[in-house]
Structures are given as structure tokens and as C-alpha cells.
Amino acid sequence: MVSSLNSWFTIPEDSDFSIYNLPFGIYSDENVKHHVCSAIGDYIIDLYELESADVFDINRSVFDKQFLNDFIELGKPITNKVREKLQNLLCDSNSVLKTNESLYNHVFKKQSAVKMLMPVKVGDYTDFYSSIDHATNVGTMFRDPANALLPNWKHLPVGYHGRASSICVSGHSFHRPQGQQKPADADLPVYGLSKLLDIELETAFIIGKSTEMGDSITTANAQEHIFGMVLFNDWSARDIQTWEYVPLGPFLAKNFASTISPWVVTIEALEPFRVKGYEQEPKLLPYLQYQGNKNIDINLEVYLTPQGGTENKICTSNYKYMYYTMEQQLAHHTVNGCNVNVGDMMASGTISGPQAHEYGSMLELTWRGTKPIKLNDGTERKFVNDNDTITIKGFCQKDEVRVGFGECTATLLPAK
């Protein structure tokens, strides 16, 4: 049960940024190069300006940074206190934030009037493959429907080390990649434009506490190391991937662009939406076992908007369909002593549900292009066309409590 909170600030009922959320991000505008901020309703809250009133009792320079990393480094006892204090200020109608007009005017800015920047400096990025419906669909399409999952799949959360340099914040655009492919009917590979440009509906979590080499994180203490989550689109060139991925996994099919949402929703804000995870059979090795409800009920949606057109919802999925939890992914990632650092990003893998409209990639939604998606302008899509914009949205809802992520959006431009 979430205890009911009432804010004096006007918050639209369907806002992702309710009093229960208070995510963290970095913004800029004509006067501010980069400040740490939070969000409430349609507004951002400039935490650097707010700390001029000394409400958090911390050195305000940590809010005048390009990235959240230094703030996150302060540790959860402090970052959670900042979030809780902010919640109190927004609920207490006698608080300095409400009564000091000059402070109020400096702190609140319309979200539509600012630009959100990359929230964290990502040191290392890992992508998992932890949705059983996705792994089953892909195995069915490309291998053997009777043995869709590879022998390791139900024993460990499969993952690979990705590329951090090309992770961009929502609102960017990028060019259709080119590369080496081997058409099914050709003897030799060719070089050219990727024709099968796809999306992957994912979320990612951000490491909030570093470890030393040699240390492992357990499923029981994993949450201490998870600062929060963002939406994640792992853009994928399927034709490049098919040819290159054996035996070491994705490389150039994935590293040209990934998109994240700008607001880091804290794991504490998501706690009320925890749900029971999958029954994991066969039984996992002890280091992967866990107690309690560790999945999260996060509604996920994907929209495709053609240039000059209107949005088409092409997928409705949910984070709760994940077979492996974040805690298991982190325990597995570090079981060999691999160290993690604040700001590292760990993506879920494509999140598909059991039904056809819940598939998290166009590869699955169109079943390898055999069932094109009909758009509301009458055109069809097998994969992403030039100048299409893809937007992922995500939110949790339980009774009147809503905590959302905002949008993760990017536009595919024609090849350079």
C-alpha cells in the first residue's frame, strides 16, 4: 500500500510525473548549461536553484553538473533523502518552495521550455536477453520451434557487452546504417544499406553503487546497487546481425545507436509496483535464486510516427514479462568478480509478452516481415522506414498512484 500524498502543486491526473515519482535528470536552457533536476506534472524542478535555500543540506555544486554520476555517488542514504525532502516540500503548503515567490520562480520551469540532456555518463553498457517470449519467438523463427531456447537459456541470463558511446538521449536522430550482409540467395557477402532496421523495446537500469574487482553482488543486496531505470530502444540492423553474430554475438548490428528516456526513475519510486516473478524451472543455481516479489508491473508501449503523420501504437507490452529480474542479472554479471561502476547501464533485452500485440520488436510483430503492420495512413511497415519516428512510453499504475517514464523517442534519417 502506498500512503496517499497530496501536493499543493497542480499535477494533471494522467501525468507520469506524480508526487510519487520525482525522477532525476539533467536539463539545459538559454540560461543554464546543465543542472540536475526533477519533474513534477508538466514542470521540471531545478535542484541547483532549489538548494540556494539550503533545503537538502548538501553542497549544491553537485547539482551543477553535466551528468548525475556525482550525485548518485553520494549514495542512497543521501539521494533518497533528497527525493523524500522534495516530496515533503511539494506536500507542505507552508514550505519555503511555496511561500518564497522568487525561489518558486527560479525553481519551476515548463518541461516544454527546456532541453533534457543525457542523464548519466555511461561507462559500460550491457544488454541482456531475458524475456522468455522474445527468446522463444527468435528461436522459433531462426532455429527450431521444438527447441527454441538454447540449452543455457533457462540456467543463466544471457547477455553481451555493448557500446556506450552511441547511447543517446530521447529526441535525437541518426542515419540508417550500412554494413556487410549476406543475402540468403547469395554466395558472397555484400556491402550496403541495412534494409531490415528494427527496434527493441527495452528498459535499462543504472548502477548506483560501484564494486571492486573480485566482489560479487548477490540477488539479496542487488537493489543497493540499482539507482533507477530508464526506457531503452536498442536499435538493431537485422540483416547485418544475421551475418555477423556467429559466434560472439551482436556487434555492428547494434552499436550505431541506442536511445534512452531522459528521466531516471528511482528504484524506490518503482517499489510499490513490484509483482511476483516467473516460476523458474528448472531450479537455478543458488547464486541466482531470490526471495520476494522482484518483477515490476511497468506498462510499455511503442508508437511509430511516419514523417508528417500521426502516431500508431504498434506494441503494448509489460516489464513483468521478464523471466530474469534485474537482481538476477546483476548477480550473474558480477558472480565472476566483474566490477561495476556508477553510471553503468544494464539493458533488459527485448521485452515481449505472450500475445502477438505484445512483441517488442518489428521482427516479431511482423513475424520476419511476413505479416506487415498496417498504419493509419494506409501504408505498411515490415521494418522501420527512413524518417519514421519511434517512441517508447512506459508507466506504472496502481489505484490512483501513477509513476511514469515520459518518452524515449528517436527518428531514423536516410543513410548519410
Between residue 91 and residue 130, which ones bind Mn ion under the rule CB under 5 A?
Answer: 127
Q: Give the nearer residue to Mn ion in terms of CB position, either 131 or 266.
A: 131
* 25: enclosing H helix or E strand: strand 25-28
Per-residue binder mask for Mn ion (CB under 5 A), 151-190, x = binder: ----------------------------------------
Contacts of 22 (CB under 8 A, 6+ apart): 38, 39, 40, 83, 86, 87, 266, 269
Q: Is 134 a catalytic residue?
A: yes
255 is written with which cell numbers? 552499436
198 binds Mn ion (CB under 5 A): no
CB of 9 to Mn ion, least distance (A): 37
DSSP 297: -
Residues 133, 198, 200, 364: which binds Mn ion (CB under 5 A)?
Answer: 200
Q: Give the nearer residue to Mn ion in terms of CB position, either 111 or 236.
A: 236
Q: Give the nearer residue to Mn ion in terms of CB position, either 70 or 234.
A: 234
Largest CA distance in the chain: 75
Q: Are 259 and 232 in contact (CB under 8 A)?
A: yes
Comparing CA positions, the residue from 316, 299, 301, 303 lying closest to residue 384 is 303
Q: How far apart are CA 179 and CA 193, in angstroms?
A: 6
Between residue 213 and residue 252, which ones bind Mn ion under the rule CB under 5 A?
Answer: 234
CB of 152 to Mn ion, least distance (A): 17
Q: Give the nearer residue to Mn ion in terms of CB position, either 131 or 334.
A: 131
CB of 109 to Mn ion, least distance (A): 34
CB of 134 to Mn ion, least distance (A): 9
CB of 164 to Mn ion, least distance (A): 14
Closest residue (Cβ) to Mn ion? 234
Comparing CA positions, the residue from 107, 62, 28, 78 lying closest to residue 266 is 78
C-alpha distances in Å from residue 72, one per residue of 36, 57, 77, 209, 370: 11, 16, 10, 8, 46
Query: With CB under 5 A, what is the number of residues at the site for Mn ion?
Result: 3
Positive or negative, the CA dihedral 309, 307, 43, 395 is positive
Q: Are 148 and 140 in contact (CB under 8 A)?
A: yes
Q: Near Mn ion by CB under 5 A, which window of 199-207, 260-268, 320-328, 373-381? A: 199-207
Q: Near Mn ion by CB under 5 A, which window of 76-84, 194-202, 222-230, 295-303? A: 194-202
Q: Give the nearer residue to Mn ion in terms of CB position, either 51 or 198.
A: 198
3 is written with which cell numbers? 500512503
Candidate list 35, 134, 332, 333, residue with the active-site label: 134
Question: How many helices and strands (H and E) does the chain possess?
Answer: 10, 26
Q: Give the nearer residue to Mn ion in terms of CB position, either 24 or 128.
A: 128
CB of 200 to Mn ion, least distance (A): 4
Catalytic sites, residue numbers: 134
Residue ranges that bind Mn ion, judged by CB under 5 A:
127, 200, 234
